[in-house]
Chain A
């Protein structure tokens, strides 16, 4: 079936570096994408989202890029801090209709930030 997946299961960076976490999706009908951060023992925490009519969206220290041509999503974290260490998931949804809310999650990338 269609799914959302990640290229790299783990990513290690030094504090202060920029991090890039990638995600590939296969459902061309998806039009809404979310990045979540999950710390150990906690539920996923919303980071940033983007609709398919956008290529880029920025938040505080985070940027999401969407390339619909190759069905690729990335999360960029600027000046990565030890507190950013967590598992990062991308999720996708087809906006509206009966598909609303049925998020499809990727496997996750473990980000480790070394001081």
Chain B
């Protein structure tokens, strides 16, 4: 099992550019999440999804969009990148019940210059 796979691992964007961060999981988890982690800080929830076709905003959704067309994939779209979006982005997934933890990907380090 690969778990949660994120691509790319690193990316440098210029202000105003756009990109999609890819996330896929092979555990058949219903729930998927996108978090961002700023230096020295904990993770903040951007968007989450409880199943294919269903998405909802988290704590810091502005500047991002998501889609969930399949159970496996949950891409995060950045439109008009800004320096404030420089961060490490983590995708995670979980089954619809507590007690199993959340499985995180290894992260995408994004720098906007």
Contacts and interface: CB of A to CB of B under 8 A. Distances in A.
Contacts of A42: 106-107
A83 interface: no
B33 A101 contact: yes
Interface residues of A, number: 23
Contact of B45 (A34, A45, A102, A106): A102
A51 B99 CA distance: 9
Interface stretch (B12-20, B35-43, B67-75, B79-87): B35-43
Contact of B98 (A89, A93, A107): A93
A108 B45 contact: no
Contacts of B104: 43-45
B94 interface: yes
A31 to B, nearest CB: 9
Interface in A83-115: 89, 91, 93, 95, 100-103, 105-108
Contacts of A100: 31, 50, 96, 98
Contact of A108 (B4, B42, B90, B107): B42
A101 B50 contact: yes
B77 interface: no
B96 A46 contact: no
Interface string B41-74: 1111100101000000011000000000000000
Contact of A101 (B31, B40, B42, B106): B31
Interface of A: 4, 32, 34, 41-46, 49, 51, 89, 91, 93, 95, 100-103, 105-108
